[in-house]
Structure 1
Amino acid sequence: MSGINTPVSSTTTFDSQHSRQSSLKTDTSVEDEVTQVETLVIGAGPTGLGAATRLHQLGRPYLIADAAEAPGGLASTDLTKEGFFFDVGGHVIFSHYAYFDDAINRALPNADDWSTHQRISYVRVAGRWVPYPYQNNVAQLPLDLRVKCIDGLLAAAEHRAQTPGHKPKTFDEWIMRNVGEGIADSFMRPYNFKVWGTPTSNMQCKWLGERVAAPNVRTVIKNALTGETAGNWGPNATFKFPMKDGTGGIWTAVAAKLPTKTFKLGKSGQVKKINGPEKLVEFDDGSKVKYQNLISTMALDGLLDCLDINSSSSNTVPKMKVAAKEGLVYSSTIVLGIGIRGTRPERIGDKCWLYFPEDDAPFYRATIFSNYSPFNCPQSDIKLPTLRKADSSLPYDEDVKEGPYWSIMLEVCQSSEKPVNLETLMEDTIRGSVSTELMLPTDEIVSLYERRFDHGYPTPSLGRDGAISQILPGLKEEFNIRSRGRFGSWKYECGNQDHSFMLGVEAVDNALFGTPEMTLHETDWVNGRKNLERRLL
């Protein structure tokens, strides 16, 4: 397995929001207990909850297990002791499915449960804020860089005209063919390396779909001459966000619509071993569950590690492990949060999330998290002490004072090809926030948050498709295991919250009725449509 081999670590100043949702925790710690169930779901993130929602709707027996104390998975939210909410990554709600919309609207049914935003995003390049998508707004760059980008766009267009049948094999080839050298060097290559921790030449390009805008050369040149800004683009140009409790609040609410008795959380939900031929899962507390269908949202490499190789007479599992080691690549993600005293500054305005391709900051993306909801920060009458100034050399008053407050959430990638000094990362992040004008040296910091996730991004590596085309069918055919979800199916292109939820729904229908799984197998078709007409309500 390529990626980071160190265990998951967590350095935080938070109390988990979800640890307070004790009503969902079950106490089933009985040694050698064996439970029989039609469908076992491992993982209570969006995919597992999608599966459970569908099973509950159908009235079929199931059990959902997760080693965490509460649902949410990689879409959960943490709360610092000072009262700042931070998602465990950059998440917003936009959807391709009516069924998904029904589920989250049933969980949070009131108009004041949500805020709706028009995406306002920028790329920080050459000391300027360039509107996103960068490749459509090179008019905002300094003249020398603007000329280089436009020249590259024209060269790329000429090359496409000369080679109409050529299909790029790597992400780097796709970049050069579509946007040219200027945009490649100033944004696409450095930014994507900061996100993935892998050079673009080592990534495939089948995953791109609607995620990367291919520029209209005529429009780009016209805007470069007139100074106009290109309009918003992409499926998340408009998005929703929960008013309270962050993204994790959505999934806590979705889980609350399901019977408490169907959850097996905490140590009782930590998988110890899976006997594939016997269709038997053993948990850390000694309990065992015998299933007919298993829907797993565990990371695919972790699932293979849990499969009892001695319980199978075939060599299927060793072959799948070799395929995973050779073809599956991932990076780790460190999420950092900064809570700041003061009125949100004008230079920040209504910005949503911001991209940072240059090396003057360790983070690749920053989200002005307080802009998503006023409840993501403590209310202004809450008194908090100052921890430090953004410039740590400046003196500060330690007395508790009232707000108002605002906050920034930042994301950093770590991989074998992109090491990170975790001991200095917070200081480096604050320093980078100042150098990129997110913060001023005199800003008063009142809360700091840091958490690392070993499995952060499933990389669309060159060997990925070959690996999953062997592993996913093998698990299904040999053990009736459907591995689904962001890391369960290892397909980033169908790893958004709506995709993930529907991967679980469709896995249930496939297991019970043989229905095709369109999100997993026809992702481009799904992403090309809006609100597929399948309803929960």
Structure 2
Amino acid sequence: MLSSIASTISGKDSSPRPPSEELEVDVLVIGAGPTGLGAAKRLNQVDAASWLIVDSNEIPGGLASTDVTSEGFLYDVGGHVIFSHYKYFDDCLDEALPKESDWYHHQRVSYVRCKELWVPYPFQNNISLLPPDDKVACMNGMIDAALECRIANTKPKNFDEWIVRMMGQGIADLFMRPYNFKVWAVPTTKMQCEWLGERVAAPDLKTVTKNIILNKPAPNWGPNATFRFPAEGGTGGIWIAVANTLPKEKTIFGKGGSVATVDTDKKVVTMQNGTTVKYKKLISTMALDSLVDKMGNQEMISWTKDLFYSTTHVIGVGIRGERPERIGDKCWLYFPEDDCPFYRATIFSNYSPNNQPQASVKLPTLQLADGSAPGSDSTKEGPYWSLMFEVSESSMKPVDVQNLLKDTIQGAVNTELIKPHDEIVSTYHRAFDHGYPTPSLERNGALNKILPKLKDMGVWSRGRFGSWKYEVGNQDHSFMLGVEAVDNVLNGATELTLNYPDFVNSRANTERRLVDGVQELKFGQ
């Protein structure tokens, strides 16, 4: 059996309040994930308006939280690591977890599993390691794509066209199409390409050719080539620590923070327990479709039908034994092929030694990886290591949920992550309904109608699903969406992260600080 409770990584509920009361603030923040906490942090810093943050979960973190199994294995809500485009974000995290011992720092070691080979990430820059026939197919496609790009006078209409134009048919068929379908649970033809930015590396034909001739891999690429991870509590521990820097009297977490309705005419939010909060401005980080549903606005509800998302299943497997040499210092791995249901696997035990029980802890073996029963039901000591898998689901990509854990373990055997005789001592499975906000062809049209209309109503809908922009959906982006929403509420400052994703993701923005004089901001300016 699995456990998906965070019992050993817990925050404390807010100060006790009457079951039903009337509250009034200048700014109400709904949701205590990274975006909501970024907003609250900024409100607390500038001290220019009365405010309150509410969340239906007792433990802050939202989609960046961490669960703990009964055996003591930690699992994040999907693959999260800390890398940043913002100095302000770094400073807030360093304030919450200030000691050097609070963090582990890692070089990304990431591979793609293809043709029973481990191809270094990004795949399109490392086709030198493929079998000869696949190497030829990929190179032919890249040459054709380069020639086509020189004469093309139109932009790609969708993500699929972008892939073929940038990388060619060979890489498209071998990796990009099957992998992205496993991630997004929709075909690449149904996705736009404006979201890409720095998230997909466009191959350089000369460099790839040189690497093929020299038979060498490409160097690390991307903003997460190095990253840090908390020593204790998983990713969720970061956001518990950030929440602990806020005044408790301005937080309502748990049952009292569960929103029932949002009345934008009267500017009143009613909680499930009957408490009402009257506000002047509302920053909502709940999913955009959920927000307009709680508002009861039928026009906007119809617009959200053009917003698509996938459900994410997170599966964890705890294993007894020394970490295998074949695993080494790998961080996360990509799986485009159909011999496993997961698109990504993270060696979660490599991020921190505290992500699994200590070796002295005695646990029984639940099963062997091949599904057979253990030879004994007695408890034994470790050491232990763990794998965390992600599987996407949508109406276009259904999942056999009842057998998903079993299928995942078999997929791990198929891809040589674990051996058939490995002893499994812990399993975990939890589904997150809103997992990925899909950058669909229809997305921008819907957002361009919904977000401005909400703002006219005094509602700033921000966050991974609040603003539905995956290109600014990492933890640093999400946090700053909240920070910048507050600055826009207080003094009309431009929300760079929301409106200019390409800029905030550019190298020119690696250490952007907020403008000076923030202490002079006044509510309603």
TM-score range, shorter chain: over 0.9
CA distance in structure 1 between the aligned counterparts of 2:294 and 2:5, rounded to whole angstroms: 30
Q: Which residue pairs with 1:322 in the alignment? A: 302
CA distance in structure 2 between the aligned counterparts of 1:19 and 1:430, rounded to whole angstroms: 26
1:181 aligns to 2:159 (yes or no): no
CA distance in structure 1 between the aligned counterparts of 2:396 and 2:174, rounded to whole angstroms: 20
Give the letter aligned to residue 70 of structure 2: K
Q: Give the superposition deviation at 1:19.
A: 6.6
CA distance in structure 1 between the aligned counterparts of 2:295 and 2:503, rounded to whole angstroms: 33
Q: Which residue pairs with 1:531 in the alignment? A: 511
Q: Which residue pairs with 1:98 in the alignment? A: 87
1:451 aligns to 2:430 (yes or no): yes
Cα distance per residue 1:203-245 (max 9 Å; x no partner): 0000000000000001111111221000000000000100111
SS in 2 for 1:64: strand
Q: Which residue pairs with 2:130 in the alignment? A: 141
1:209 aligns to 2:197 (yes or no): yes
CA distance in structure 1 between the aligned counterparts of 2:445 and 2:368, rounded to whole angstroms: 50
Give the letter aligned to residue 532 of structure 1: R
CA distance in structure 2 between the aligned counterparts of 1:212 and 1:396, rounded to whole angstroms: 47
Structure 1 spans left out of the alignment, 5+ residues: 1-10, 309-316
Q: Which residue pairs with 2:100 in the alignment? A: 111
CA distance in structure 2 between the aligned counterparts of 1:77 and 1:168, rounded to whole angstroms: 39
Q: Give the superposition deviation at 1:136.
A: 0.2
Counterparts of residues 160-309 of structure 1 (less than 5 Å): 160-163=149-152, 165-308=153-296
1:356 aligns to 2:332 (yes or no): no
Cα distance per residue 1:153-204 (max 9 Å; x no partner): 00100100121x3211200000000000010001000000000000000000
Q: Which residue pairs with 1:52 in the alignment? A: 40
Name the TM-score, length of structure 2 as normaliser: 0.96
Query: Aligned residues: percent identity?
Result: 58
CA distance in structure 2 between the aligned counterparts of 1:323 and 1:44, rounded to whole angstroms: 26
Q: Which residue pairs with 2:461 in the alignment? A: 483
SS in 1 for 2:262: strand
Structure 2 spans left out of the alignment, 5+ residues: 520-525
Cα distance per residue 1:421-478 (max 9 Å; x no partner): 110000000000000000000100000001000000000000000000100000010x
Q: Give the superposition deviation at 1:89.
A: 0.8
Q: Is the 8 A contact 1:19 1:69 kept in 2?
A: no
CA distance in structure 2 between the aligned counterparts of 1:173 and 1:238, rounded to whole angstroms: 31
SS in 1 for 2:39: helix
Cα distance per residue 1:17-52 (max 9 Å; x no partner): 477322x43433433x21110100000000000000
Q: Is the 8 A contact 1:75 1:88 kept in 2?
A: yes
1:400 to 341, 365, 379: 379
2:361 to 376, 382, 385: 382
1:426 aligns to 2:405 (yes or no): yes
Q: Which residue pairs with 1:157 in the alignment? A: 146
CA distance in structure 1 between the aligned counterparts of 2:253 and 2:373, rounded to whole angstroms: 46
CA distance in structure 2 between the aligned counterparts of 1:20 and 1:522, rounded to whole angstroms: 36
Q: Is the 8 A contact 1:18 1:69 kept in 2?
A: no
Name the TM-score, length of structure 1 as normaliser: 0.94
CA distance in structure 2 between the aligned counterparts of 1:112 and 1:52, rounded to whole angstroms: 26
1:13 aligns to 2:27 (yes or no): no
2:73 to 77, 81, 84: 84
Give the letter aligned to residue 399 of structure 2: V
Give the letter aligned to residue 170 of structure 2: G
Q: Which residue pairs with 1:506 in the alignment? A: 484
